[in-house]
Amino acid sequence: MFKAASRTLRIHKFGRKEANDHIFVVTGIGKANRHEEVGSPFTVPNEYICAMLANLIGLTVPPFCVTRYEGRWYFVSMLIDEPPLKAVDPSEIVKLDGGDIASGILVFDIFIANNDRKEKDLWLDPHIGEVVIFDHSHALLGYERGVSERLRLLENELGILGDGKCPDHCLLEHIETDAFFPKWIERIKSLRPDIIDEIVEEGCRYANSEDHPLSSNDIENLKSFLKRRKGRIEELIKRHKDKFKRMQWSSL
């Protein structure tokens, strides 16, 4: 559908374990669903669904998989730098290519209603200029019960603004051009409904357990939410132009 996102990610010394001269082991970091009283009971489905959708539109996420260990699902992604990752300067992301990749990240986060994009959720490889996005545990299904109600309330919202627990999107006050918005809006709009359904169904498998129940109604509502929202991103941006403080509008 689109040019594949780059996978030329640098493997750092600490995350590379020699096995022999041509085979090696890389280190991954895993995240599990957390108990509801702690928060983020839908971490694994959120991470899986968002990573799959990001790949489809050409954004780069660390290589990932879902695995099961001691009765729990884990979303595991390749470790791309030594933790804790340093927060990036959002203005550097915007300057990197005139605002193209920053626009893609913003538009994608509107699509997945990710109001938790902080500076430490982006990584810039200075050697190849690759921007990697990760940590989508608060997107889509959210981090509390009441999934269907959350989706209903987000229907006409940007979904990237702070909610008291999270600040506004880290790129929102830095982006100055909408020249690349149509490109990314069209990529998301072109996602096939049946592919969205398949990704959601697969991702939600990793939430259906006694501790973290996700109803069939919640799953269907998430499918419908994404399939409606993919065609409404331009409308949502136009409704909330006042939130883009430095934007010089020309394309929307």
In DSSP terms, 248 is beta-bridged to 177
User: pLDDT of the chain along its 252 residues, tens only?
Assistant: 344 444 445 545 445 556 566 677 778 888 988 876 556 789 999 999 999 999 999 999 999 999 998 888 999 998 877 777 778 899 999 998 899 999 999 999 999 999 989 998 998 877 777 899 999 999 999 887 789 999 999 999 999 997 666 678 999 999 999 999 999 999 999 999 999 999 999 999 998 666 667 889 999 999 999 999 999 999 999 999 999 999 999 999
The contacts of residue 214 (CB under 8 Å, 6+ apart) are 42, 45, 141, 147, 204, 207, 208
For residue 20, what pLDDT is reported?
A: 64
DSSP state of 179: T
What DSSP string describes 100-169? HHHHHHHHHHHHTT-----GGGEEEETTTTEEEE---TTSTT-SSS-HHHHHHHHTTS-S-S--SSSPSP
Question: Could you tell me where the DSSP H helices lie in 6-89?
Answer: 43-57
One-letter amino acid for residue 85 of the chain:
L
For residue 143, what pLDDT is reported?
A: 80
For residue 1, what pLDDT is reported?
A: 39
What are the structural domain ranges in the chain?
27-243
**What is the reported pTM?**
0.90
Instruction: Please report how the helices 216-229 and 147-154 are oriented relative to each other, as an axis angle in degrees rounded to 10.
Output: 20
In which residue are the tokens 């490109």 written?
Answer: 183
Specify the CATH number for 27-243; select among 1.10.3470, 3.40.50, 3.30.70, 1.10.1070.
Answer: 1.10.1070
What is d(CA 189, CA 199) in angstroms, rounded to the nearest whole number?
16
